[in-house]
Chains A and B, each alone.
Chain A
Amino acid sequence: MASEVFLATLRTGSTVFFLVVGIFFIGMTFILEYHWRRYTTHSRLFDIARIFYYGLSLIFLLVMIRGYVGLL
């Protein structure tokens, strides 16, 4: 059996890591959207790019949440 201290450290670490990843992703999404909206005209290519970006991000987020829940 794992020691309580080790498990507590793992859970705290994963929570902090989750927050850092979340903040990084939100920040980068704002930056990318800023560039896409400011320097390009609306086009089908950007619609497709957005579907890929947000779709894959959602998948990774859900998988990450699944892993995080398993750690708790």
Chain B
Amino acid sequence: MITLEEGETLVIQVRKHWLFILGHATVLLMFSVVPVMLAPVLFRYITPGLQEEIGGVLLASLYLFLSSAWLWFVLVMFFVMWTNYYLDVLVVTNRRLIDMEQFVLFSRDETIILLENIEDVKMETIGFLATVLHFGNLQIQTAGATKEMVIRNIMRPDQIKIALESCIAESKRAV
């Protein structure tokens, strides 16, 4: 959560490209179909002996019980992943650049750089996907303790660079 100072306005707020959450979501989607894929194998090949012994109804209940627990677990993991994605954000205001990096739950890094301390902004787009889907890295050279900051895989780095440069120019004029 960002608290803006008096007279400070939000210029741009950007997250990592959705492709990165889509990749993780696809893996989770594949995990979620595991019970469906296992059902025919379980009922036809592995457990005819067990079916005879404990009865089909009991086995169906066991399947229902375990598969719903599995899907519940996958759901929780999806929301953990989405939370990590959503809380990883770059904010540019007319005074500061705030990079909030959420690694995993309870692991977080927050860097604040005053715009007048930024010396150089460089963007790079590497590869076919990055070019077509408009994402890339942003390198920021500063005069502060953090000499260089790299923000990886953010959406529209070219537009952020332009917005950032105009904010820097304005803040330097004001100083």
Contact = CB atoms under 8 A, between A and B. Distances in A.
A71 B79 contact: no
Contact count band on B: 20 to 34
Contacts of A1: 53
Contacts of A28: 76, 80
Interface string B44-84: 00000000011101101111111011011101100110110
B41 interface: no
A17 B76 contact: no
Given A10-B62, A70-B60, A2 B53 contact: yes
Given A6-B53, A66-B64, A25 B76 contact: yes
Interface string A8-37: 001000100110010011001001100110
Give chain B's interface secondary structure class.
helix
A61 B79 contact: no
Contacts of B66: 67
A21 B53 contact: no
Contacts of A35: 83, 87, 105
Given A31-B105, A40-B1, A67 B80 contact: no
B86 interface: yes
Interface string B90-102: 0000000000101
Q: Chain A binding site: helix, strand, loop or mixed by DSSP? A: helix
B71 A49 contact: no
B75 A39 contact: no
A27 B63 CA distance: 25
Interface of B: 1, 53-55, 57-58, 60-66, 68-69, 71-73, 75-76, 79-80, 82-83, 86-87, 100, 102, 105-106, 108
Interface of A: 1-3, 6-7, 10, 14, 17-18, 21, 24-25, 28, 31-32, 35-36, 38-41, 49, 53, 56-57, 60-61, 63-64, 66-71
